[in-house]
Structure 1
């Protein structure tokens, strides 16, 4: 089925036989890019998050299984929030320096066709625009073999990517703007040029091919890792954003920085 996105009529699928109808009401929630995931959710701490999950239905994490999460209201079945995992958080992820050709983003929400839980897949491909002005996360490389049908803008700068009637990934525009700790709204001020540069450097460090060189102990790659951490540690502006980026490379610094 090809999605025309006429409000209230078109359907998309998540994981086989689970479907939702596209509506014309997107979420009024600012995305939070925590480094390892993107939250589009109304909770402000761990307790509120637990209550949110207990009072909604949809997909969720289970033990070691960390798929993308979409939560819906039992009454009315509308989308209330999502937690989307960055591909580099899992093994065997692919990284590309180009985005797929995407249609114009059309703002919209989702309404579940039925109130039952389902499972989504983890995106395994990260596509990066030059300067990381936009990130697209895809289910697999096969998505790039044909055009996307639609981009549903479920929140500011946040879109679900649709192909053959199925949600096959998502995108985040201007990710540097949305860098923030978990459960915390991002700073409304725009990110500094230094933060934007260091976002690109940190993403380079946690993805191949530079990550392979770090793990192999290549002196130049390890020096870049240390330099990025030092620059973030001493950065005066954008402290919350800088701290998120330090957390993104912290494990690699601990394991390979010495």
Structure 2
């Protein structure tokens, strides 16, 4: 098994392979940065607070990043120590079925760890294509493809609080975010330290339903029931009084769909 050693049935990954035969070594230093689940449908693990700081962050680091219309997942490393210093993960619109989600491996447990690049070299890491939603959306898991479900995982590397990389045969094949509603926020803002309200939890699940398959396909096709759900969610979020910061993040999340389909 490339990049992994096994003892007593538990795989401990030492080196991880990313796309383009690019590799990094697991360290004992995970990032102490709270993830941001933004209205841009991304999970950002970074310290920048505006667009200008993000540009400087990309210029001062190396790794995988976006180029023009190409939008892979972003993992950035310090040029001196080669340590992971930030990441941005996109999550897909394609939702796995309940039967497929039930096949998602629950082991091994998350092992906290950072990453150190084997060399100072840029690479490209393709974004995941399938979203697996745990009951109640308590965990969102994004996979490279459904073939990942055919084999056990080697490891789950917790690179930041509630954010883990999924490893199979020594390669990174996905990532997960635990308690995603807690991490909801608008772009560049830190999440509210207070827990999300029950209303936010309910509307979070509704918004995820609306912008992932199969409901998003119904929106595109102009199905009246789907359009009514979108309009109702938009209205509820605008009228929500508590947990406004997260409500605004959810409004951002569905804004494009409301603009394109919600006013039919």
The bucket for the TM-score relative to the shorter chain is over 0.9
1:94: how far off? 4.2
Q: Which residue of 2 aligns with 1:101?
A: 105
1:28: how far off? 0.5
Structure 1, residues 79-102: CA drift from partner, whole Å, max 9, x if none? 0000000112xxxx3433426113
Q: Which residue of 1 aligns with 2:134?
A: 129
Aligned match of 1:15 in 5, 15, 19? Answer: 19
Aligned match of 2:161 in 139, 156, 160? Answer: 156
What are the within-5 Å matches in structure 2 for residues 182-201 of structure 1?
182-201=187-206
> In the comparison of the two structures, how many residue pairs are matched?
253
Structure 1, residues 190-218: CA drift from partner, whole Å, max 9, x if none? 00010011010000001111112222222
Q: Which runs of 5+ in 1 are unaligned?
A: none
The answer to whether the 8 Å contact 1:60/1:67 transfers is yes
Question: Which contiguous aligned blocks of 4+ residues in structure 1 show a shift greater than 4 angstroms?
Answer: none
Q: TM-score, normalised on structure 2? A: 0.92
Deviates more, 1:128-137 or 1:217-226: 217-226
Matches of 2:79 and 2:22, distance apart in 1: 15
1:24: how far off? 0.8
Q: TM-score, normalised on structure 1? A: 0.94
Matches of 1:229 and 1:161, distance apart in 2: 34
Q: Which runs of 5+ in 2 are unaligned?
A: none
Is 2:28 the counterpart of 1:24?
yes
User: Which structure has greater strand proportion?
Assistant: 2
Q: Which residue of 1 aligns with 2:152?
A: 147
Structure 1, residues 104-127: CA drift from partner, whole Å, max 9, x if none? 000000000001101101110000
Deviates more, 1:94-103 or 1:31-40: 94-103
1:248: how far off? 1.3
Q: Which residue of 2 aligns with 1:218?
A: 223
1:254: how far off? 1.7
Matches of 2:186 and 2:252, distance apart in 1: 9
Matches of 1:3 and 1:184, distance apart in 2: 37
The answer to whether the 8 Å contact 2:37/2:185 transfers is yes
The answer to whether the 8 Å contact 1:5/1:22 transfers is no
Q: Pick closer, same or farther for the CA change 1:217–1:9 going to 2, 3 Å.
A: closer
Matches of 2:249 and 2:91, distance apart in 1: 14
Structure 1, residues 158-204: CA drift from partner, whole Å, max 9, x if none? 00000110011100000000000111110000000100110100000
Deviates more, 1:167-176 or 1:243-252: 243-252
